[in-house]
Amino acid sequence: MITTTIVLASTSPYRRALLDKLELRTLGFDLRVDTPDIDEQPRPGEAPAALVERLALAKARVVAPRHPDALIIGSDQVASVDGEMLGKPGEHQSAIAQLERLSGQHVCFLTGLCLLNTTTGQAHSCCEPFWVSFRRLSKKQISAYVARERPYDCAGAFKSEGLGIALFSRLEGADPNSLIGLPLIRLVSMLAAEGIEVLAS
């Protein structure tokens, strides 16, 4: 039996907006959001790709007991530049510092995705990479951007779906949605593996 409940284990409004693009409610699914309370610190020596995939699975598993007979979506993202991981800046000066660090760089954004079936225990997971080439940005440009868009809750301190697109010279990857925080192309395939056809009539 295919579940009719899908839970996004994230409070991110960006991931919620991306999930809404799949119009799952029109197929009769009950979409819910739950807050995953987990330790997101990397383990010693943990690679960025391994970190985001582990955290995506952990987020799904931590909310699973509250949602029997459901599909849980977990996701996590970091930026990786020269082996350094950057998460959400959290506040103004950290956002400026992140963009100064990323200016002129070719940066890999790694998004972990997990789809967990709480009925069967089956979990599908992956890490989706996306590369961003940043323009060389002046301090004045960075300050103006951060003041206007306030990207404090976004890894890399930008919103690519908004004014942040002006920061880039090139984007490379299979799914631009992954840069915002939820790789929809991979998610559609995972849903299909669980018997859910997004394009069903």
Considering the candidates 76, 82, 153, 175, report the single residue annotated as catalytic: 76
> Is 20 an annotated catalytic residue?
no
- Residue 11 — pLDDT band, cuts 50, 70, 90? confident
Mean pLDDT of 83-110: 93
Which is more confident, 166 or 84? 166
Distances 155 to 33, 36, 52, 121, 158 between C-alpha atoms, Å: 21, 18, 12, 30, 7
pTM for the full model?
Answer: 0.92
Domains in the chain, ordered, with CATH? 5-193 (3.90.950.10)
The confidence score (pLDDT) of residue 87 equals: 85
What average pLDDT does the segment 193-200 reach? Answer: 94
Q: Mean of the pLDDT values across residues 98-126?
A: 96
The pLDDT of residue 2 is 66
Contact 74, 58 (CB under 8 A): yes
Tell whether the model's pLDDT for residue 1 goes beyond 70: no
pLDDT exceeds 60 at position 85: yes
pLDDT at 137 over 70: yes
Look up tokens 């990323």; give the residue.
102
Mean pLDDT value across residues 185-200: 96
Dihedral sign, Cα of residue 94, residue 164, residue 39, residue 55: negative
